């Protein structure tokens, strides 16, 4: 991924192979601010990608520990 490339919520969901609702949940839970807005579309860059990745990883870890 290029530093100047920005991603919408739908593109992030495809990139992480997660449902868009889960990615939106992580963004709102961790209050991740978009780099840019175009109308109502929020765009996220590399720094936000890492924060979203960590949030999604946290869901997978906690989810796996609760299932026994």
Each residue's pLDDT tens digit, 18-62? 999 999 999 999 999 999 999 999 999 998 999 999 999 887 666
Question: CA torsion, points 33, 39, 41, 45, in degrees to nearest 10?
Answer: -50
Backbone angles phi, psi at 6, to 5 degrees: -125, 150
pLDDT at residue 64 greater than cutoff 60 = no
Query: Position of tokens 């720094």?
Result: 47
Global model pTM greater than 0.85: no
């Amino acid at each position: 991924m290029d530093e100047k490339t920005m991603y919408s919520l739908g593109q992030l969901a495809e990139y992480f192979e997660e449902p868009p609702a889960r990615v939106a949940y992580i963004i709102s839970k961790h209050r991740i601010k978009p780099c840019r807005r175009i109308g109502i579309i929020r765009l996220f860059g590399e720094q936000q990608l890492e924060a979203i990745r960590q949030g999604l990883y946290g869901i997978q870890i906690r989810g796996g520990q609760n299932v026994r």
